[in-house]
Structure 1
Amino acid sequence: MNATTSTNLRDVLSNLISKEQSRIKNFKTQYGKTNIGSISVDMIYGGMRGMKGLVYETSVLDADEVRIRSHGYSIPECQQLLPKVPGRAEPLPEGLFWLLVTGQVPTEEQVSVSLVMHYGERVWHSSLAIAFVRIEKCFFSQFVYEDSMDLIAKLPCVAAKIYLNLYREGSSISTIDSSLDCDATFTELMRLYLIIHSDHEGGNVSAHTSHLVGSALSDPYLSFSAAMNGLAGPLHGLANQEVLVWLTALHKEMGGEVSDEKEIQPTFLAFCLYLQVVPGYGHAVLRKTDPGYTCQQEFAFKHLPDDPMFKLVHQLYKIVPNVLLKQGKAKNPWPNVDAHSGVLLQYYGMTEMNYYTVLFGVSRALGMLAQLIWSRALGFPLERPKSMSTNGLMTLVGANKSG
């Protein structure tokens, strides 16, 4: 069987790796010394924002096209092309992982045979935290693949155990009981959530952390654990909690009523002036509405159009960008994925906001681990950018000479 049609992910990946190793070697030989753009002092002080200095294959953010593309496929294209459960609208996250690893849209057979078997065999073998489920192995790429697959298989159980420890007095997981499954619509939301949070280019805190730690030949368990620590920050994975807290306060300020935009605007303006920022609005790269927001909006219109909190989110979407533009508070006044996700989770009864980052982490593992497999397969070196002191930087740009 040809590797491109094989249902064994390892065989497909092995064939792709050898070709990609040769392609990148030839590219570096011809263009390794070529300069890419220019780097400014503002970029250096601005958290390296916009600097092209990292190879991350699985996804790219296109600020002009306003798309997040996974190997060239936008989120709506992934929703359309990836295999689904019969009768359901949202694609299977297992299919997205195949796409992230191989760059190919999988067949239904490839997803069901290769990945679902892996989950079924391994997912319930561990209920320990990520850092403690790691297995000591060599540093070679084949073991990174194996560890990554093991970790992805174990993460649902780890996440479930965290939930039980925090909110159900540490109840144990013994067997899979399908009668306790969430309703079908919430399951659809979880598939959508996994898809839109799975990967976000390589420069965000969690993805960059996994790439950096992995470059030290740390195994996938350690790399992902480090990434989760970054994800837990309020400027990253906690953002949807911050949005939900703000929305709840705004809703209360309005007396629990959702008015039209003319009535809501004075209340919003007061909140905007008080907070200085509007949670859920703005993006480091995109300059229009985040496609992850749009997907969730479409889901809400379909399944919960009369929910008061969704109505509030949608009314704000009509108001906030213009207010921020007039006040000059944001270069990008458009909503991001976090502006919507907390409201959807809350609607279906998942009110434990501190748990949202765990769900985010399970999602983001698909992209980070797919990239880690390739980073190790291609022998990417230890990541070690050059840092400079302010005096050294001023000397470099000739600022000292001008006094």
Structure 2
Amino acid sequence: MATSILRTSRTKPVWSSLARARFSSTAPKNTTLKERLAELIPLELENVKRVRAEHGKKAFGPVIVDQLYGGMRGLPALIWDGSVLDADEGIRFRGKTIPECQELLPRAPGGAEPLPEGLFWLLLTGEIPTQEQVTELSKDWAARSAIPEFVEEILDRCPPTLHPMSQFSLAVTALNHNSAFAKAYQDGVSKKEYWGPTFEDSMDLIAKLPNIAGRIYRNVFGQGKLPAIDPGKDYSHNLSTLLGFGDNAAFVELMRLYITIHSDHEGGNVSAHTGKLVGSALSDPFLAFAASLNGLAGPLHGLANQEVLLWLSKMQAKIGENASDEAVKEYVWATLKGGQVVPGYGHAVLRKTDPRYIAQREFALKHLPDDPMFKLVGQIYNIVPDILLEAGKAKNPWPNVDAHSGVLLTHYGLTQMQFYTVLFGVSRAFGVAAQLIWDRALGAPLERPKSYSTAAIEAMFKNK
């Protein structure tokens, strides 16, 4: 079973010649991210115009009634440029797999994991930035990182019993007070220039999230005064420091990997789609991303890693450490027979092991191979898929990203599970912000799909 989990597909996603030329290249030297975007936007506008001229009137996938009742599952209805999810290969960021991103994106000095700054550059441009460009992006975000005093006061006045995600959403919404896009729109900016202030808001948003997350963490869990952002450190290092883990080099490396692999997962998931939808009303990036966070906070989305860790903890308490395979199998079967699911296994799209799970597993094998909880995760990895197939409980019995992330965070002492979704939210800002910038650059319209009542569907088929 363990070997079959690593199967890969022979089918590769199809890319246009323009996309291949862009997505396989490295960023030109001596250019900033905003300057490079300004060069790419006219090219992409022409590309979109060409695609619509050639294919705009063609059908793109069937729509069946079950999809309408099934949460639009699998319904092709969005354009999302940053990433595409392949059922066999998993996520590709601008055409690049997670292993390719780990190999090609710049790293911190002495580090082995990709810097999220480079991933954001890739999401926006399709290009691999230079080390110097990533360093400058780190400095830019550090310079933008301060949050307004009134936002600090909002967070400080929140009771510690208010869920960290609620506090996170409150703070991000309040950042709208200084939105460059909202001001530019009020001043009558041309539609062709919408992307500029959207870019500035998105850069400010990403830059300020570590200070917001750090303040929430220390207020809720009593970690003392918040340290200052270090302009000489990268984004993940500063976030780790604000959480109280900056002195642990392995935790900093974990944050670099964590943010990178959680940054984007195409546009149909709740947090990504919500950000795009709210942004289509020309709500600024702060309002759009706050809405994303409210979706991410749901138990069926961002809280899944917390549920996995709770299930693992209950199992370990029941059967003990270093339990036999038979004891693990019995516990899994008891979970299923009790009408519950095995959390962290199965995925709406993926039909193989989630590459994000594999990346975290490889990190654990390198940094914490003897951790008892990781050993249990590895044991489950070899046992659960066969059980789920035998029980007929899942089309995809393989583990997803949530099956592993909580164990890594717990190992390094970040044991407060209520906070895990905040880290997910910090990461997801990268993908949502990148798409919001491109939506405004390409003139994406207000989203307004057509809805039908059950009675209307019945009447439609009675008349045929």
TM-score (norm 2): 0.82
Provide Cα deviations, 1:188-237, integer angstroms capped at 9, x if missing partner. Answer: 11111001100000000000000000000000000000000000001100
Cα drift, residue 170 of structure 1: 6.9
Q: What letter matches 1:351 in structure 2? A: T
Where do residues 294-373 of structure 1 align in structure 2 (5 Å cutoff)?
294-373=358-437
Are the counterparts in 1 of residues 357 and 401 from structure 2 also a CA contact under 8 Å? yes
Match of 1:274 among 323, 338, 343: 338
Pair 1:138 & 2:184 matched: yes
Are the counterparts in 1 of residues 27 and 127 from structure 2 also a CA contact under 8 Å? no
Cα drift, residue 264 of structure 1: 2.1
Cα drift, residue 175 of structure 1: 6.3
Q: What letter matches 2:449 in structure 1? A: P
What is the match of residue 85 of structure 2? Answer: 61
Pair 1:160 & 2:214 matched: yes
Cα drift, residue 29 of structure 1: 2.4
**Aligned residues, how many?**
396
| Partner Cα separation in structure 2 for residue 298 and residue 174 of structure 1 | 32
Are the counterparts in 1 of residues 346 and 398 from structure 2 also a CA contact under 8 Å? yes
The structure-2 alpha-carbon separation of the partners of 1:175 and 1:327, relative to structure 1 and needing over 3 Å to count, comes to closer
SS for the counterpart of 2:84 is: strand
Where do residues 110-121 of structure 1 align in structure 2 (5 Å cutoff)?
110-113=133-136, 115-121=137-143
Pick which of 102-111 and 198-207 moved more.
102-111
Pair 1:189 & 2:254 matched: yes
Q: What letter matches 1:200 in structure 2? A: H
Cα drift, residue 7 of structure 1: 2.9
Pair 1:265 & 2:265 matched: no
Match of 1:150 among 192, 201, 204: 204
Q: What letter matches 1:362 in structure 2? A: V
| Partner Cα separation in structure 1 for residue 253 and residue 135 of structure 2 | 18
What is the match of residue 171 of structure 1? Answer: 225
What is the match of residue 274 of structure 2? Answer: 209
Unaligned runs of 5+ in 2: 1-25, 152-170, 186-193, 231-237
Pair 1:6 & 2:30 matched: yes
Q: What letter matches 1:322 in structure 2? A: D
SS for the counterpart of 1:48 is: coil
Are the counterparts in 2 of residues 224 and 365 from structure 1 also a CA contact under 8 Å? yes
Unaligned runs of 5+ in 1: none
Match of 1:245 among 310, 314, 321: 310
What is the match of residue 233 of structure 1? Answer: 298
| Partner Cα separation in structure 2 for residue 274 and residue 303 of structure 1 | 35
| Partner Cα separation in structure 2 for residue 90 and residue 368 of structure 1 | 22
Q: What letter matches 1:138 in structure 2? A: A
Cα drift, residue 4 of structure 1: 3.5
Cα drift, residue 44 of structure 1: 1.2
| Partner Cα separation in structure 2 for residue 121 and residue 108 of structure 1 | 19
Where do residues 95-110 of structure 1 align in structure 2 (5 Å cutoff)?
95-110=118-133
Are the counterparts in 2 of residues 62 and 68 from structure 1 also a CA contact under 8 Å? yes
What is the match of residue 68 of structure 2? Answer: 44
Q: What letter matches 2:220 in structure 1? A: L
Poorly superposed stretches of 4+, deviation over 6 Å: 177-180
The structure-2 alpha-carbon separation of the partners of 1:175 and 1:368, relative to structure 1 and needing over 3 Å to count, comes to closer
Match of 2:101 among 78, 93, 96: 78
What is the match of residue 123 of structure 1? Answer: 145
SS for the counterpart of 1:69 is: strand
Are the counterparts in 2 of residues 6 and 12 from structure 1 also a CA contact under 8 Å? no
The structure-2 alpha-carbon separation of the partners of 1:272 and 1:70, relative to structure 1 and needing over 3 Å to count, comes to same
Are the counterparts in 1 of residues 279 and 436 from structure 2 also a CA contact under 8 Å? yes
What is the match of residue 234 of structure 2? Answer: none
Are the counterparts in 1 of residues 218 and 225 from structure 2 also a CA contact under 8 Å? yes
SS for the counterpart of 2:413 is: coil
The structure-2 alpha-carbon separation of the partners of 1:182 and 1:170, relative to structure 1 and needing over 3 Å to count, comes to closer
Provide Cα deviations, 1:8-28, integer angstroms capped at 9, x if missing partner. Answer: 111100010111111112221
Pair 1:379 & 2:443 matched: yes
Are the counterparts in 2 of residues 261 and 318 from structure 1 also a CA contact under 8 Å? no
Are the counterparts in 2 of residues 321 and 333 from structure 1 also a CA contact under 8 Å? yes
Pick which of 5-14 and 262-271 moved more.
262-271
What is the match of residue 15 of structure 1? Answer: 39
| Partner Cα separation in structure 2 for residue 16 and residue 6 of structure 1 | 15
| Partner Cα separation in structure 1 for residue 104 and residue 309 of structure 2 | 32
Are the counterparts in 2 of residues 199 and 364 from structure 1 also a CA contact under 8 Å? yes
TM-score (norm 1): 0.94
SS for the counterpart of 1:85 is: coil
Cα drift, residue 401 of structure 1: 5.7
Are the counterparts in 1 of residues 308 and 344 from structure 2 also a CA contact under 8 Å? yes
| Partner Cα separation in structure 2 for residue 116 and residue 337 of structure 1 | 26
